[in-house]
């Protein structure tokens, strides 16, 4: 089984590219090797490697910047995804598209199911949803995997940011009115490798089990590390940003359950594993 991973320099892409498995050859393609905005480049690269599967991690993820640069967000997340889908289909490769909790508006009070109505409020969320629709239109063997609050050993993320800030400050103010589920790239990568080896196509929600607020997440980080940093809860309104954040982005994982796949472990266990290693 030969797998191409786009966006190989990103958090998840790099995790997958470094994944050790006897069942698959994994080829990571960073932006300087593959420009997904170029259809001819996608066709040429995929034809060269003849992958069985493409895991499409490359994306425009600057949530706030997208509000003032919507064309580029859609150029990458919609047109780029269309190009990857077309090229993957033409070489007979399955396609796994990594999406986001931002396709929902965050107004729910119960976990979002895979086929609940989407209603993105941000340019980023709208562009990622447009990418989902491109995949569904341009390909016939696809997996769409929505995830949230990603952290891992590659790249910038909330855990690393908290640890850096703790070295500079004795107390931190962290938002306590946004609820979601952290996702460890190591666990997500393991799930993706399992998923793409099946023919269980469709939409999936994949994050570590359980939920918390960013405030609770920060508290857990410092508890695991033995830091004495004081974490003070605050509201989203106290930290206005160009793109609104979902107040509630917990996602139900019925797709994983009904297909008999392995659920991701509780987020606190995943955090412990990350910090220990």
86-145 pLDDT, tens digit each:
999 999 999 999 999 999 999 999 999 999 999 999 999 999 999 999 999 999 999 999
**Active-site pick, 60, 97, 112, 124:** 124
208-260 pLDDT, tens digit each:
999 999 999 999 999 999 888 999 999 999 989 999 999 999 999 999 999 99
Burial of residue 69 (number of CB atoms within 10 Å: 0-12, 13-18, 19+): middle
Does position 22 have pLDDT exceeding 90, yes or no?
no
- Give me the residues paired with residue 100 across strands: 147
Lowest mean pLDDT of 17-26, 32-41, 93-102, 254-263, name the range: 17-26
On whether the CB atoms of residues 152 and 15 are closer than 8 A, the answer is yes
What would the two tokens of residue 245 be?
Answer: 């954040």
Confidence of residue 198 (pLDDT cuts 50, 70, 90): very high
Confidence of residue 23 (pLDDT cuts 50, 70, 90): confident
Does position 277 have pLDDT exceeding 90, yes or no?
no
CATH (residue range 2-157+182-209+250-265): 3.40.50.720
Residue 124 is among the residues annotated as catalytic for this protein:
yes
Does position 85 have pLDDT exceeding 90, yes or no?
yes
Query: In 218-240, which positions are buried (b, 16+ CB within 10 angstroms) versus exposed (e)?
Result: bbbbbeeeeeebebeebeeeeee
Q: What is the pLDDT of residue 12?
A: 98
């Amino acid at each position: 089984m030969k797998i191409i991973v786009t966006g190989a320099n990103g958090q998840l892409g790099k995790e997958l590219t470094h994944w050790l498995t006897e069942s698959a050859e994994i080829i990571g393609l960073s932006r300087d090797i593959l420009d997904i905005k170029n259809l001819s480049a996608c066709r040429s690269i995929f034809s060269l490697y003849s992958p069985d599967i493409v895991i499409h991690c490359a994306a425009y993820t600057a949530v706030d910047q997208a509000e003032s640069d919507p064309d580029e967000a859609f150029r990458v997340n919609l047109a780029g995804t269309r190009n990857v889908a077309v090229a993957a289909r033409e070489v007979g490769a399955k396609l796994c598209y990594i999406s986001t909790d931002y396709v929902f508006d965050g107004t729910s009070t119960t976990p979002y199911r895979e086929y609940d109505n989407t209603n993105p409020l941000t340019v980023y969320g709208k562009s990622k949803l447009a990418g989902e629709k491109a995949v569904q239109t341009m390909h016939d063997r696809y997996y769409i995997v929505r995830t949230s609050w990603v952290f891992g050993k590659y790249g910038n993320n909330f855990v690393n940011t908290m640890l850096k800030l703790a070295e500079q400050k004795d107390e931190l103010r962290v938002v306590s009115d946004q609820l979601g589920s952290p996702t460890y790239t190591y666990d997500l990568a393991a799930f993706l490798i399992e998923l793409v080896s099946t023919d269980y196509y469709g939409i999936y929600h994949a994050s570590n089990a359980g939920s918390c607020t960013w405030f609770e997440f920060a508290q857990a980080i410092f508890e695991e590390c033995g830091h004495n940093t004081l974490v003070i809860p605050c509201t989203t309104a106290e930290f206005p940003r160009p793109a609104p954040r979902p107040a509630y982005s917990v996602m139900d994982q019925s797709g994983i359950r009904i297909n008999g796949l392995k659920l991701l472990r509780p987020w606190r266990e995943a955090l412990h594993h990350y910090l220990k290693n």
